[in-house]
Amino acid sequence: MTDLELQVFTQVKAIIANEEQVLGRRDILMPLKKAIIAEGDIRNIVDIVGSDPALAAHLLWRSNTALNAGSLLAKSRTLKDALIRLGQVNVYRYAFTFYLKERLDELPQPYKKLVSGYWDLTENIATSAVDSLVELKIAGVDADEVHTLALFSVFGQIVSLTAFAYLNAESEQSLPISLIKSLIDNNQKSLTLDALEGLDLDKDLRQEFMIAHNLRQTHEVNSPGLVLRKVLAKQGLLLSALS
């Protein structure tokens, strides 16, 4: 790395480990996380989520996403139904990605356009992963867990671009896009793993992410990561290529 690349890389790594800078609005997410960790009463979680109507509507929509892929479960009609059906871990993952997307929509150009492309890719991967689960007829894997895991498929690229946007805004001299692209392409694995660790996402997600990207192996046939790995491999997105 050049001196400039090393300086930028170091600063970016510091930003992606800072949840406040990455997510911005955390007034709902933090109490939600604490309630889930404490295995709180579902009514408390409903109250926390319900205090943000946009998040509540999003989780109600997400709770029915996997249903469109062949599930025989009845659609969630109320927020409480949706949260119970999703399970607490998936509720937090969906809430996290909701507020992350909200933050991404505030980015200046050209970063907003670049990140939007990655976000669209993520949503497509998540849909393909659930469709693949249905086609494979693996009954022991939760569709929502596959879907929430897939929403983090290119997490490193999304968070890194977000960090570059904030860094560029604070810099006296504009950082060239070529420098940013080079740093992400050459340090994708390191940046991704730092982001997953620094933002304190749940252990199961981190483990299954590693399996999905062929960075860890498993003999568990019902691993959501193995389902996602097939989709990522087809699209050439694995952090560690299949041998």
Q: What is the pLDDT of residues 26-51, one digit of tens each?
A: 789 999 999 988 887 899 999 999 99
For helices 188-198 and 3-16, angle between their N-to-C axes, nearest 10 degrees: 30
**Range with the poorest average pLDDT among 90-99, 137-146, 156-165:** 137-146
Q: Is the pLDDT of residue 13 over 60?
A: yes
Contacts of 67 (CB under 8 A, 6+ apart): 73, 75
Please indicate, yes or no, if residue 152 is contained in any of the structural domains.
yes
Q: Is the pLDDT of residue 200 over 60?
A: yes
Amino acid code (one letter) for 225: G
Please indicate, yes or no, if residue 76 is contained in any of the structural domains.
no
pLDDT given at position 20: 79
Mean pLDDT value across the chain: 88
pLDDT given at position 134: 82
pLDDT, tens digit (0-9, with 9 covering 90-100), for 47-102: 999 999 999 999 999 988 765 554 555 677 899 999 998 999 999 999 999 999 99
Please indicate, yes or no, if residue 33 is contained in any of the structural domains.
no
Q: Is the pLDDT of residue 193 over 80?
A: yes
The DSSP output letter for 138 is -
pLDDT given at position 217: 95
User: Residue 60 and residue 79: Cα distance in Å, rounded?
Assistant: 6
Please indicate, yes or no, if residue 29 is contained in any of the structural domains.
no
pLDDT given at position 66: 61
Position with higher pLDDT, 174 vs 67? 174
Please indicate, yes or no, if residue 60 is contained in any of the structural domains.
no
User: Residue 184 and residue 230: Cα distance in Å, rounded?
Assistant: 23
pTM: predicted TM-score of the whole model, two decimal places: 0.90
Please indicate, yes or no, if residue 54 is contained in any of the structural domains.
no
* Average pLDDT of span 208-232: 95
Identify whether the C-beta of residue 132 lies closer than 8 Å to the C-beta of residue 74: no
Q: Which of 175, 159, 179 has the alpha carbon at shortest distance from 167?
A: 175
**Sign of the torsion angle spanned by Cα atoms 213, 217, 223, 227:** positive
pLDDT given at position 59: 95
Q: In angstroms, what CA-CA distances link 240 with 1, 126, 212, 230, 236?
A: 22, 19, 10, 13, 10
Please indicate, yes or no, if residue 47 is contained in any of the structural domains.
no
* Average pLDDT of span 209-232: 94
Retrieve residue 226's tokens: 């193995």
Q: Is the pLDDT of residue 177 over 60?
A: yes
Number of domains comprising the chain:
1
Q: Is the pLDDT of residue 146 over 80?
A: yes
Across 44-53, 63-72, 155-164, 180-189, the highest mean pLDDT is recorded for 44-53
Please indicate, yes or no, if residue 38 is contained in any of the structural domains.
no
From the centroid of its chain, how far is CA 33?
15
**Range with the poorest average pLDDT among 2-6, 114-118, 160-164, 226-230:** 2-6
Structural domain span for residue 192 = 3-24+94-234
Contacts of 36 (CB under 8 A, 6+ apart): 45, 88, 89, 91, 92
